[in-house]
Structure 1
Amino acid sequence: MKGSKCHEHEADVPAAELWKIYGTLRFVELVHELLPQVLHKVDVVKGDGTVGTVIQVTFPPGNPGPQSYKELFAKIDNENRVKEAAVIEGDILAMGFTKYVTRFEIVEKGPSSSLIRSTVEYEFDDGRDELEAAASTAPLEAAAEIITKYIKEQTATAN
């Protein structure tokens, strides 16, 4: 079965500022730093944040669901501000997903407003309907909110 879930977050910050974070390794660094209850640890296995980079993501101990996985930065489109990361190893696949891809799109709405569209695309074998509930955008929603707040605070401090 194939499916997807999407969340959109209106951000009152410039798209270019969001992309400086979302389009790089800074995204996972900030999520780890600002939301340790969501992301316990991130290690770069190989790469520098460009396409082909592999990271090891570890969730906090006691977290229900997956504990860790590796993901590959499969697409980074700086012009259209789109980034895709595919799970290539770990607990998400062990749970029964055959595909799990996270996509971020930063859409410019105006000079100081943007839309963060976070999408999870997944596949799993028929008869594994319980996996539908396991696919979630909740951590991505929390990240969108905290990163928007972070950029606003950094801008205020700079001014």
Structure 2
Amino acid sequence: MSKMFGYLSEEVEVKVTADKAWQLYGTIKLGEIAAKHTLESIDVVEGDGGVGTVIKVKFKPESRISYCKEKFTMIDNDNMMREVEIIEGGHLDFGFTLYRIRIEVKDNTNDETGSSCVVKMIVEYEVKEEAADNASLATIEPFVVLMKFANEHLLSSS
């Protein structure tokens, strides 16, 4: 059975140091901001925010997706990268066999003062061929919105 693969990404500059941004983007605190602004709720099913942590995300009623469970599959504090994969519900209910979100925080090479960084969100997905029409459900948009709220939070708390 063949599958369709996809990749979406978005980068934003944040006016805080990479270390400060990572203290939010590298942790479960990012979910708390999402829950406050863009989601119905987030509950930790198991874990403490490290690799293996599973969270249940409930979307707002107007969303086509009601809920999903995400598992933290990789956290690399040295390189400031984190990955989560949907393991239940969400896009998997629409024929996706993989839906992975990667966050990367990097120093802003264009900023010699070191006072800003670049945050990159990446969505990688795989869809069964017979569900290829659902590939349009894969979107970076909610993460762009989340980055906006996260960055406002970082700036207001600096």
Shift of 1:137: 0.8
Could you tell me the TM-score, scaled by structure 1's length?
Answer: 0.91
Give the equivalent residue in structure 2 for 1:50.
50
What is the 5 A alignment of 1:52-131? Answer: 52-63=52-63, 65-109=64-108, 110=111, 111-131=114-134
Residue identity matched to 1:82: M
Shift of 1:83: 0.3
How many matched pairs?
151
CA distance in 2, matches of 1:68, 1:85: 15
Shift of 1:126: 1.5
- Alignment of 1:137 with 2:136, yes or no, is no
CA distance in 1, matches of 2:121, 2:24: 14
Tell me if the contact between 2:11 and 2:120 (Cα under 8 Å) persists in the aligned partners.
yes
Tell me if the contact between 2:96 and 2:131 (Cα under 8 Å) persists in the aligned partners.
no
Unpaired segments of 5 or more residues in structure 1? none
> Which ranges of 4 or more aligned residues in structure 1 deviate by more than 4 Å?
none
CA distance in 2, matches of 1:133, 1:94: 14
CA distance in 1, matches of 2:89, 2:130: 21
**Identity, % of aligned pairs?**
34
Could you tell me the TM-score, scaled by structure 2's length?
Answer: 0.92
CA RMSD across the alignment:
1.0
